[in-house]
Amino acid sequence: MDNFIVSARKYRPATFDMVVGQDTITTTLRNAIRNNLLAQAYLFCGPRGVGKTTCARIFAKTINCSNTGPDGEACDKCESCSSFNSQASFNIHELDAASNNSVDDIRNLTDQVRIPPQIGRFSVYIIDEVHMLSAQAFNAFLKTLEEPPSHAIFILATTEKHKIIPTILSRCQIFDFNRINVDDIVQRLSWVAGNEGVNAEHEALHVIATKADGAMRDALSIFDQIVSFSGKTITYSDVIANLNVLDYEYFFRITSAAMDGDVTSVLLTYSEILNKGFDGYNFMAGLNNHLRDLLVSRDEATVKLLETSPSIRLRYREQAVKAPLQFIYEALDIGSQCMLNFRASKNQRLHVELALLRMCNLSAAKAPEEVKKKAEPARLEEETDFSVAPPRSVDSTKTTPVQPSPAASPVPGPAARQQKPSVSDDDPKKVSIKNILGGAKSPETIVSEPEPDSTMPPPDHEFTPEELLEAWNNFAEEIREESPRIAVTLSSVTPELLADKTILLKLDNLTLKETFDHNFRSRLEGHLRRILRNGALRLQTNVESTERGEILYSPEQKFNHLAERNPALRDLKKTFNLDFE
């Protein structure tokens, strides 16, 4: 039986053109070779599995090639290239700094650097995981790295650039390798699958690429693992089963049920997810990513940020159209808060379920709010029209306009109605039921008002202090959950009614007055006008000390209060240049 070679080694790039996802770096290296602009030291840094050591080997092979092509690629035919391909080259030396990190190892390296190459022009020293060198080894390496022999080139590779001392960094040309994007990994996996005779679904390769997290080597290792599991046919279901990845379908189901307010479906689906062995934290992380993908799917300009297969991307587009933008924002906030507090929760399943219930409540709370907004004009009309004229019979072909009573006057205040001009029978622009039912809309059409009742109370309807106090306390109860402090303040004071229908509210301090005026003053005025049926009511707030005295918050307020009692404190502060603190 032939020895099996893993795909990460079998399909390791041998030329710059085969390197995936690092076009800027490979172009720079080829131009440096073509123009003979080679530095004495290079630093390749970046995440694992993105091609640092591979590019170092290709670079070492190419600079020793005796027949380098015009594109900066090695010929693969000369003696140096042949020895490199057979792993018998004496010009390339690889050192693992993780196991050779002492001063003695660096001393042996510097002694070896003095020996010139037998074939080719350069001796290339590739040091992997260079950040593992000790501080003493770094210092011993400085002089050789800065001024090596003309035939020596150092290539340092690391995943943790921040651990390398600045004196080393300043002596190297630094190349930062990026994570490989999902599309590039999928394209490379498709090519490998074709060479191996493996039939792989596009969605399955996308899952592998996503799981690899930008590392080509990890993607090829996962590919080998899936081939061992499913044979020559790789399906989406095989991949998620083998990698223990949560299916997209669960997130689509839960999001759809949450938008519908279907608590039962959401809880049952989450229970099914837990029964499959998935952790609640990873589930919430996946749900947040799903909501984020819905957000970017709403706009054609941002849909390119969605790293999924075309079929899954279409499903995201369909659900994004149905999902209200406000729902996505608030659900993302709920999911983020759930993840922040997940580890500290004593009952983690209940913690996640409460977050899901809050998401379901977003849609459930929105519908009554919309109904409330639509019914608001009718509710205000009903509250301001204290008597309604009896219904009239309407002829199917002709509408007789109703003249408003001259004695009636509009009710003042925010909820007052605007009187409409009357329409005569001879007016050709009169309203007809036919036009109304047909949906005709004309700026010249005037809708007639029902005749007001003569028993409607006047704008300055009188009320008793008991009625005022009852309406006052009702408003305090309504805002108790929203602002307990303001509610307690309103409940603890008695409104004072002045002669000009002005209600005086005395507050303890300026901070409380500003908070009340900014958030609740206009709402309380509207509430009292509506309940007491008097549009002339006005609310005035003053800051006045109570029997227990004004509350002093800042050090300056406390100092001024004491200085009023003892003026000598101001002289003391001025003499010693004291501060309020």
Of 12-16, 72-76, 91-95, 378-382, which gets the smallest average pLDDT? Answer: 378-382
Beta strands in 255-332 (DSSP E): none
159 and 291 housed in the same domain = no
What number of other Cβ atoms are within 10 A of residue 54's Cβ? 22
pLDDT attached to residue 286: 92
36: exposed, middle or buried (C-beta count within 10 Å: 0-12, 13-18, 19+)?
A: exposed
Calpha distance 111→148 (Å, rounded): 11
Q: Is 334 helix (H, G, I), strand (E, B) or coil?
A: helix
Q: Which two tokens stand for residue 99?
A: 């196991």
Side-chain-side CA neighbours of residue 403 (13 Å): 5
The chain-wide mean pLDDT, for the chain, equals 80
In tens, the pLDDT along 125-164 reads 999 999 999 888 998 889 888 888 889 999 999 999 999 9
pLDDT over 90 at 331, yes or no: yes
Percent of the chain past pLDDT 70, that is, above it, reads: 81
Residues 126, 268 share a domain: no
Q: How many CA atoms lie within 13 A of 172 on its CB side?
A: 26
Residue 560 lies in a domain: no
DSSP-derived 3-state class of residue 45? strand
Tell me, yes or no, whether 170 and 255 share the same domain: no
pLDDT in tens, 216-271: 999 999 999 999 988 889 999 889 888 888 888 899 999 999 999 999 999 999 99
Contact by Cβ (8 Å): 151, 123? yes
Q: Which residue has the higher pLDDT, 402 or 52?
A: 52
Which residues lie closer than 8 Å to 232 by C-beta, 6 or more apart? 197, 198, 199
Tokens 């059409």 found at:
445
286 and 159 assigned to the same domain:
no
**Do residues 147 and 34 make contact, with C-beta atoms less than 8 angstroms apart?**
no
Give the range among 292-296, 326-330, 440-444 with minimum mean pLDDT: 440-444
Mention every residue, 6+ apart, whose C-beta is less than 8 A from residue 39: 32, 153, 172, 173
pLDDT of residue 442: 41
pLDDT of residue 2: 61
Structural domain contains residue 550 = no
Per-residue pLDDT band at 66 (split at 50, 70, 90): confident
Mean pLDDT in residue range 527-534 = 83
Within-domain flag for 478: yes
Which of 318, 340, 365 terminates a domain? The answer is: 365
Please tell me the predicted confidence (pLDDT) of residue 451.
44
> Within a domain: residue 375?
no
CA dihedral in degrees (371, 377, 383, 384; nearest 10)? 180
Three-state DSSP at 429 gives coil
Give the Cβ contact number of residue 186 at 10 Å: 22
Q: Are residues 157 and 52 in the same domain?
A: yes
Do 54 and 157 lie in one domain? The reply is yes
Asked whether residue 434 is domain-assigned, the answer is no
Element (H, E) at 539: strand 538-543
Check if the beta carbon of residue 6 is closer than 8 Å to that of residue 196. Answer: no
pTM for the full model?
0.59
| Edge-to-edge order in the sheet of strand 123-128 | 92-96, 123-128, 152-158, 41-45, 173-176
Q: Which two tokens stand for residue 420?
A: 């409409």
**pLDDT tens figures, 23-45:** 999 999 999 988 888 999 999 99
Question: Would the pLDDT of 398 be above 60?
Answer: no
Q: Are residues 17 and 149 in the same domain?
A: yes
So what's the pLDDT on residue 1?
45
Q: Which CATH number does the domain housing residue 343 bear?
A: 1.20.272.10
Report the pLDDT value the prediction gives residue 544, as an integer from 0 to 100.
67
Q: How far is CA 149 from the centre of its chain?
A: 52
Same domain as 28, residue 115: yes
The values of phi and psi at residue 434, to 5°, are: -60, -45
> What are the tens digits of pLDDT across the range 533-558?
887 788 888 876 544 455 565 677 77
Higher pLDDT, 337 or 493: 337
What are the structure tokens assigned to 82, written together?
């042949």
DSSP state of 386: S
Q: Is residue 403 domain-resident?
A: no
Looking at 206, 222, 243, the residue that finishes a domain is: 243
Q: Is 5 helix (H, G, I), strand (E, B) or coil?
A: coil
- Region 466-482: mean pLDDT is 85
Question: CA triplet 548, 552, 558: central angle to 5 degrees?
Answer: 120
The terminus-to-terminus CA distance of the chain in angstroms comes to 84
pLDDT, tens digit, 9 for 90 and up, residues 570-580: 888 888 778 76
Strand order in the sheet with 502-507: 496-497, 502-507, 538-543
Both tokens of residue 537? 């009511």
Cα→Cα distances 402→15, 298, 374, 430, 450, Å? 90, 50, 27, 11, 7
**Residue 327: which of 431, 257, 271 has the closest Cα?**
257
Contact (CB, 8 A) for 55 and 29: yes
CA 508, 509, 515, 519 dihedral sign is: positive
pLDDT above 90: percentage of residues in the chain: 27
Amino acid identity of residue 252, one-letter, is F
**Residue 497, both tokens:** 């009614």
CATH code of residue 530: 3.30.300.180
Q: Do both 255 and 358 map to the same domain?
A: yes
Give the DSSP letter string of 101-168.
Answer: -SHHHHHHHHHHHTSPPSSSS-EEEEEETGGGS-HHHHHHHHHHHHS--TTEEEEEEES-GGGS-HHH
Average pLDDT on 170-198 reads 91
- Amino acid occupying residue 440: A
- The pLDDT, as a whole number, for residue 28 is 92
Residue 463 token pair: 């009320």
Mean pLDDT on 426-451: 43
Q: Both tokens of residue 514? A: 């500003």
Q: Are residues 236 and 266 in the same domain?
A: no
User: If you average pLDDT over residues 428-441, what whole number do you get?
Assistant: 44
Whichever domain contains 96, its CATH number is 3.40.50.300
Looking at the predicted structure, is the pLDDT value of residue 434 above 70?
no
pLDDT at position 412: 46
Domain limit, last residue, from 143, 176, 209: 176
Domain count of the fold of the chain: 4
Are 59 and 167 found together in one domain? Answer: yes
**CATH number of the domain enclosing 208:** 1.10.8.60
Same domain for 233 and 282? no
In-domain check, residue 303: yes
Full residue range of the structural domain in which residue 502 is found: 465-543
Distance CA 331, CA 362 (A): 8
- Backbone Cα Rg of the chain: 39
